[in-house]
């Protein structure tokens, strides 16, 4: 399961974009072991997306 939502907030002359991700890994009890490894990939992915969004909109 993967639910990814975006929220936009006005802030003076700009806008903040917030990503929220809810996920559930498969594999029952093994997901507790796999969870930390899955999350490690999120940060670089969102850092790239935010950098590209900013570059395209500025």
Express each pLDDT in 15-36 by its tens digit: 888 989 888 877 777 777 777 7
Distance (Å, whole) CA 23 – CA 29: 15
According to DSSP, the β-strands at 2-11 and 14-23 are antiparallel
Residue-number span of the structural domain to which 29 is assigned: 2-57
For position 4, what pLDDT does the model report? Answer: 92
Split into its structural domains, the chain has a count of: 1
Distance (Å, whole) CA 20 – CA 6: 6
Helix axes 42-57, 31-40, angle to 10 degrees: 30
Among 23, 16, 17, CA closest to 42: 23
pTM above 0.75, yes or no: no
């Amino acid at each position: 399961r993967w639910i990814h939502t975006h929220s936009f907030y006005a802030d003076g002359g700009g806008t903040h974009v917030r990503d929220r991700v809810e996920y559930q890994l498969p594999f029952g009890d093994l997901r507790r072991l796999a969870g930390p490894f899955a999350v490690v990939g999120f940060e670089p992915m969102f850092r790239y997306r935010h950098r590209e969004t900013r570059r395209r909109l500025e």
